[in-house]
Amino acid sequence: MTTQTDGVYDRQPLIAGNWKMNLDHAEGVALVQKLAWTLDDAKNFDHARVQVAVFPPATDLRSVQTLVAGDKLKLAYGGQDLSDQDSGAFTGDISGAFLKKLDCAFVLVGHSERRTIHGESDELCARKVAAAYRHGLTPILCVGEGLEVRQAGTHVDYTLEQLRGSLAGVSAEDAASLVVAYEPVWAIGTGEVAGPEDAQEMSAAIRAELERLYGEETARKVRILYGGSVKAANAAAILAERDVDGVLVGGASLKAEEFANIARFEDHVAS
């Protein structure tokens, strides 16, 4: 991340917790409460400086909304997926309109678990990104290569291809608010974390591609996150990289203390 001379970040860091299919609504409310208390107790934590967001299962969102609104918590939240359609006969799918109604700020699109388990293509992801913008949600578009691609050394080409395909039809105006999450599949839930220089290499390549697609001014505004076995112990080094503007955390976001410590990465840099 780059800071300006007055110590303000160029792009606001985003610390995002993807709960995946964990925690029912009662457990989810307890975790959000504990997370909010923990961050409040950390006297020097400034929500205006670092944005914190959680991505609970869809069945938790109404309860999270009630808690966040009722207690005026400064936490953002979003859905883990959305339909490319707005309404109709799409059993089991969730409209972006419904997420917006629950005051979601964000929605994940194209997480590798959606791409591999549910066979989501770049074309479908592009339609989901469009649906997110249609409903006033900020998409967090996930891209990243598997182990074989990484071993073949073609990870940058592969990931940029996914990026281009999943952004087909997105305007420069919309792209300015986009968030991209680089999540190498081989680092997800494996304990195997990409090195800070790997995260930087890909983030820089993604930003350069965004610049080609949308121009320099837009590319400079896009936040790029790294995801894959992020913990408090490795977050600060990854976040120190120039083009990495945040992290998308799976397992470690299920523990309030650990996730709060990731959000407080600046304290770890200082210590």
Ligand X SMILES: O=C(CO)COP(=O)(O)O
Q: Are strands 106-109 and 76-79 parallel, antiparallel or unpaired?
A: parallel
Active-site residue, 111 included: yes
Q: Which is nearer to ligand X, 139 or 250 (CB)?
A: 250
Length of the chain: 271
Q: 155 catalytic, yes or no?
A: no
In the complex, residue closest to ligand X by CB = 250
Give whichever of 28 and 251 is closer to ligand X, judged by the CB atom.
Answer: 251
Distances (CA, A) of 108 to 93, 114, 116, 196, 205: 14, 10, 15, 23, 21
CB of 233 to ligand X, least distance (A): 13
Report, in Å, the least distance between residue 81 CB and ligand X.
12
φ, ψ dihedrals at 234, nearest 5°: -115, -5
Closer of 13 and 214 to ligand X (Cβ): 13
Catalytic-role residue among 120, 183, 209, 258: 183
Task: Name which of 235, 240, 242, 243 is nearest 261 in CA terms.
Answer: 235
Positions touching ligand X (CB under 6 A) are 18, 111, 183, 188-189, 227-230, 248-252
* 100 annotated to a ligand binding site: no
C-alpha 8/C-alpha 118 separation (Å) is: 40
Establish whether 250 is an annotated binding residue: yes
d(CA 106, CA 129): 11
Q: How far is the CB of 188 from ligand X (least distance, A)?
A: 4
229 is known to lie in a ligand binding site: yes
Binding-site positions: 18-20, 189, 229, 250-251
Active site residues: 111, 183
